[in-house]
Amino acid sequence: MKRRNSIPAFIVLLLIAFAVSLILFIYFSIVNSPSNQAEAAVEEFYTYEQDGNFAESWSMFHPYMKAKFEKGHYLQDRAHVFLNHFGVQTFEFSLEDSELLKDFQIEDGVEPIGEVYQVTVTQRFEGKYGNFSIVQDVYTTELDGEWLVLWDYKKTEKNEETESN
């Protein structure tokens, strides 16, 4: 007599397909999470800066930032500061994990952005003035399907005291 299989083959295939789909869903949910996309955008921005490709990094600015820096001025200024003043050819950088912030304002009096991700960036330089690091909180938000970069220009109490003296 022929022994009958207790679980039909199509159910096994269905279970395998479901398991693979679940694994792919979990993987892409984590890899493509807004937090990871935000960190990837900041990494891309600083990779452009590291390579001296300031036109590409400028193109990743949020419109608020583009209003602060005319493209030509930004390209000239960044190259001048890093290459001439600091005496460096490039730099290394590292990123910390991103943190979601609500209602971020780039500066006082500007309409808040609903959600941004804050990523702390440390740039390490070796230049004519020795080795030094710049640590800066960088912000990124998605606008029209693109992740764009912002810097913080809000006045702090310490900055306001320094300006009044």
pTM metric for this prediction:
0.78
Asked if the model's pLDDT at residue 27 lies above 90, the reply is no
Average pLDDT over residues 156-164: 57
Give, in degrees to the nearest 5, the angle at Cα 115 between 111 and 117. 120
Is 87 among the domain residues?
A: yes
Asked if the model's pLDDT at residue 55 lies above 80, the reply is yes
Give the three-class secondary structure for 27: helix
Q: Cβ distance 86 to 71 under 8 Å?
A: no
- Reported as a pLDDT band with limits 50, 70 and 90, residue 6 is low
Amino acid identity, position 120: T
Is 3 among the domain residues?
A: no
CATH number at residue 82: 3.10.450.100
Average pLDDT over residues 46-68: 95
Total of domains in the chain:
1
Is 160 among the domain residues?
A: yes
Amino acid identity, position 123: Q
Q: Which residue, 47, 38, 64, is CA-closest to 116?
A: 38
Domain that holds residue 156: 9-164
